[in-house]
Amino acid sequence: MFWENKYKNEKFVWGENPSELGKITVQYLKSNNLINKNLELLDIGCGYGRDVLYISMNINCKILGIDSSKEAIILAKKSKKKDIEFRHCDFKDLDDTKFDIITSSNFYQILKKQERNALIKTISKILKPNGLLFLSTLSVNDPEHFGEGIPISGEPNSYQIGTYVHFCTYDELKRDFNFLNIEKLYEHEYYEPRVTGDVHHHISWILIGKNIVT
């Protein structure tokens, strides 16, 4: 209900520009000459679709954006564009369709441990051989929210801050995504404007990994 209310009350809460991960994804694909490859891309936790729309304007690909918030998908579907589909569903409900690229911006951090494990399993199943994962998630060094709220018993670096939020370490992400060849894993500092006029200061991990099948 937290995210349903968030999207219902604040609509385009982070504005209509792409997330940091969206920009990094496009920059990487352009620099590696992957913009005209007719790729199939999945955005998990797409919200109202700001990254989907940005990527579609820059990369030649077919995109599916999914989110468990009905309100977010209602907002996303207001933008009608060829080769984009928005679907209201949980990532666990995806079929076995495989994707060249999977993106997920600041979604991993709102999943509890069991759900994070389920997401990892899903990604490992549906990412094509040599497919790429682009993921961002809050770091334990995040200056905005780390240490706020109520600590979750038995879950290190996890807090109830209106909703559940987990903050990751480098070693944790290396372990969780060890089925990938991790090309980049680094902390990214940025300032995030909100429609309310507030600007949040964050540090997130950026993970870029390739599914190398041996």
- CA gap 109, 88 in Å, rounded: 20
Report how far apart, in Å, the C-alpha atoms of 80 and of each of 9, 76, 166 are: 23, 9, 34
Which residue ranges make up each domain of the chain? 2-210
How does pLDDT run across 67-120, given as a tens digit for each residue? 998 988 988 887 777 789 999 999 999 988 999 999 999 999 999 999 999 999
Mean pLDDT check: name the lowest of 74-88, 116-130, 160-174: 74-88
Instruction: Round to whole Å and give the CA distance between 41 and 132.
Output: 9
* pLDDT at residue 12 tops 80: no
Split at pLDDT 50, 70, 90, the class of 195 is confident
Beta partners for residue 93, in sequence order: none
Here the tokens at position 146 are 């780390």
What are the residues whose beta carbons fall under 8 Å from the beta carbon of 4, sequence distance 6 or more?
A: 69, 70, 71
Model pTM score:
0.94
- Cβ(77)–Cβ(57) below 8 Å: no
Residue 1: band (very low, low, confident or very high) from pLDDT cuts 50, 70, 90? confident
Report the CATH architecture of 2-210: 3-Layer(aba) Sandwich (3.40)
If DSSP codes are grouped into helix, strand and coil, which group holds residue 76? helix
Is there a contact between 138 and 146 (Cβ–Cβ < 8 Å)?
A: yes
Close Cβ partners of 53 (under 8 Å, ≥ 6 residues apart):
18, 79, 81, 84
Element (H, E) at 137: strand 127-138
Mean predicted lDDT score pLDDT of the chain: 91
Percent of the chain with pLDDT over 70: 97
Q: What is the pLDDT of residue 126?
A: 96
212 pLDDT more than 90: no
pLDDT recorded at residue 3: 67
Q: Does pLDDT of 214 surpass 70?
A: no
Measured CA to CA, the distance from residue 199 to residue 194 in angstroms comes to: 6
Q: pLDDT tens across 23-66, in order?
A: 999 999 999 988 777 899 999 999 989 999 999 999 889 999 99
